[in-house]
Structure 1
Amino acid sequence: MIQHQLNSDLQYCENIIKKHSKSFYFAFSGLPAEKRYAVYAIYAFCRIADDSVDENPIIAFKSAAINQLRHELDLFSRHEERNHPLWRALRHVFNTFNMDIQPFYDQLTGQEMDIQFSSPKTLQQLEEYSYYVAGSVGLMLLPIIATENHQYLKKSAVKLGIAMQITNILRDIGEDFYEKNRIYLPVMERLHFGYGEEKLDQQLIDESFITLWEHLAVRAEILYDEFSNHLVKFDNDSKEPLMMAANVYREILNVIRENQYDCLTKRNFVAQERLEQIRV
C-alpha cells in the first residue's frame, strides 16, 4: 500500500514535467529510476512555484500563493508536511538523498522577484536573479546527480542553472514583453548596444538587437563551457543525462540563430529529430 502511494505520488510529479518541459524530461529520463523521479519531484515543486506567480493575474494573489507555498515548505522542514502528492514525493527524495532545503527557499525568493518585477540594471543583476530562479534548481539537483562530490560542485551547478536561465530569457524575449510586460535584458546592456524599449515595441530585429542578443548568448555559452569542465566529477550514471540537458538547452541558442534571431514573434524549440541527434 505504501509503495503504491509512493508510485502514485512520483507519477504525479512525472506528469507535471512531461506536460511543461519536454526537453528537460527528455534529458533526465536517462537517469536511473530513483534519481529520475527525484528530479521530477524537484521540477514539480519549481513548476508549482512558477505557476503560482504566472497564473495569478493579481499581485496580491501572487504574493499570497508564494506565501502559502513558503508556509508549506516551513511545515515540510519540520516534518509536518501537507498530505499532498508533491510533499510526499519530496519527503521520499529527502529521505533518500543528502538534500539541502535552502535552495528551495531561494527558488521562492526568485519567484517573488518576478512579482515585484523591474528590469535588471546590469548583467550582474541578471545573473543574480538567474541564480534565484534557476541556479537554485542546480543546487537542489546536486545531491542527486553528484552524491559523493556535491559539496565541491556547487559553483558548477549554479553556472549551469544561470546559463539555462539566460537561454530561457533569450528564447522568450517577445513572450515576456508582449504578454507579461517584462524585459529581462539588462538596462545597461540595452543602452550600450542601442536597443531601446521602443524598438522592442516595434518587434524590430536589427543589428543592435542581434549584437545585444549575442552578447548575452556568448555569456551563457561561457557558463555552459565552465560547467562542462567539471562534468567528470559528477556521478557516472548522471554524466550523460546532465550533459544532455546542457546540450539541449544550449542548442536552443543555435535554433534562434537559424531563425534569424526571431525570438520576438516565433516560439523557438529544439525539434524531436534534433533531440535524437543530440542524444547520439
Structure 2
Amino acid sequence: MDEKNKMNVEIAKAYAYCEKIIKKHSKSFYFAFSKLPKEKANAVYAIYAFCRLADDSIDEAETKEEQAKALKKLTEELKEFEQGVEADQYLWIVLRDVFNRYSMSVQPFYDQIKGQTMDYYFKQPQTMKELEDYSYYVAGSVGLMLLPIIASENHKHLEGEAIALGVAMQLTNILRDIGEDFKEIRRIYLPKDVMAQFGYSEAELAKEVINDVLIQMWEYIASRAEQLYDDFSQSLKHFDKDSQQQVALAAKVYEGIINAVRENRYDCSTMKNKTSTATKALLYKDVKNNFSAR
C-alpha cells in the first residue's frame, strides 16, 4: 500500500473514532447530522469530538490542578495545529483534513476552550447578558465551527444566526439540567437577577421546589431560547441545500427538549428530559415534508 492510501485508511479510522464519540454522547446531534452527505457528516463528527475533549478536560479531571493542566495542554495543541503541526492523534488528524477541505477559522476553537475555562472559574451569572455571553463561548462557538461545512457559500454572512442557534441550545441545556447541575456540581446557571426578579431562592432550588414562581422563571428563559430558535430558522434557506433539512432537524430536536420539560411538569431534578425517539421520528417526517413542499 502506498503512502497516500495508508493516509486515507488512517483518516477513515480517525473519522470512525469521532463518529463513535458523537454517537455515544449526543444521540440528538447524531440523529440529525448523520443524515448529511458523508463528507460533511464526518466533518461534524470531528468538530464534536474536539468539543467533547474540551468539555471532558473540565468534567473528567478530579482536581482543579488537573483541570488547569488539561486545558493548558489542549490550548498548546491547538496553537501547534494553527501553526501547521498537529499531534499524531485521531482528533488532530481529522481536524487537519476538515481544515483542508473547508474554509475554517481557528478562532471559534479557541473560544470553545475559553468557554470551558469559564466553567473552570465558574461564577453564577448576574444577568441574562452574562448567561448569553457564556453560552456563546460554550455553544455559539460550535455554530461558528460548523458554518463553513453546512453553509459553504454564505458562512461569512450567517455568523449571527449560527451563534443564535448555539445560544438557544445552551439555554435549553441549562433549563433541562437545573436540578442536576445543582445537585451534582453545585452550580446555578440561572442568572441572579432573574431569580430575584421572580423570587425563586437557592434554598428552594436545593429542595427541588416546583411552584408557580419556578414555572414563570423557567418560561421566561425558555421564551428567550424559543425566540433564538425562531431567529435562526428564518435563515435556513441560505444554508447549503444538502444541509438545510439536517440543520433544521437538529434545531427542532433540541428545541423539543423544552416541550419535554413542560410535559414532565417542569421536573428538572428527577426526570431525564429529552426528545423521545418517537418524537424525533415525527420531527424528521415533518421537516422532510416541509422541504418537499417547497
With normalisation by structure 1, the TM-score equals: 0.99
Per-residue CA deviation, residues 2-56 of structure 1 (Å, 9 max, x unaligned), is 2111110000100000000000000101100110000000000000100110111
CA distance, structure 1, for counterparts of residue 271 and residue 122 of structure 2: 24
Give the counterpart letter for 1:37 in structure 2: N
2:121 paired with 1:121: no
- Cα distance between partner residues in 2 of 1:3 and 1:279: 33
Given the two structures, how large is their TM-score scaled by the length of structure 2? 0.95
**Aligned equivalents of 1:151, 1:63: Cα separation in 2:** 33
- Structure 1 gaps, min length 5: none
Q: Note the 1:88-103 alignment, pairs <5 A.
A: 88-103=93-108
Residue matched to 2:155:
150
The aligned amino acid for 2:12 is: N
CA deviation vs aligned residue, 1:222-244 (integer Å, no higher than 9, x gap):
00000001111010011000000
Is 1:106 the counterpart of 2:111? The answer is: yes
Structure 1 residue identity aligned to 2:148: P
Q: Which residue of 2 aligns with 1:30?
A: 35
Matches within 5 A, 1:27-176: 27-176=32-181
Distance 2:195 2:175 in 1: 13
Aligned counterpart in structure 2 of residue 248 of structure 1, from 253, 256, 260 = 253
Alignment coverage as a number of residue pairs:
280
- Which stretches of structure 1, 4 residues or more, deviate above 6 A after TM superposition? none
User: Which residue is equivalent to 2:13?
Assistant: 8
Gaps of 5+ in 2: 1-5, 286-294
* Residue of structure 1 aligned with 2:274, choices 242, 257, 269: 269
Deviation at 1:63, TM superposition (A): 1.0
SS of alignment partner, residue 236 of structure 1: coil
Aligned ranges 1:175-186 → 2 under 5 Å: 175-186=180-191
Partner of 2:237: 232
SS of the aligned residue for 2:243 comes to helix
Q: How many percent identity over aligned positions?
A: 53
The alpha carbon displacement at 1:57 in A equals 2.4
Distance 1:63 1:215 in 2: 35
1:145 deviation in Å? 0.4
More deviation, 132-141/1-10: 1-10
How far is the alpha carbon of 1:266 from its aligned partner? 1.3
Q: Among 200, 208, 216, which residue is 1:211 paired with? A: 216
Distance 1:207 1:81 in 2: 53
TM-fit CA distance, 1:135? 0.2
Distance 2:125 2:104 in 1: 31
Find the aligned partners of 1:63 and 1:187 in 2 and give their Cα distance: 27
**Aligned-CA RMSD value:** 0.5
Q: Deviations over 1:76-120 (max 9, x none)?
A: 001111000000000000000000000000000000000110100
Give the letter aligned to residue 129 of structure 2. Q
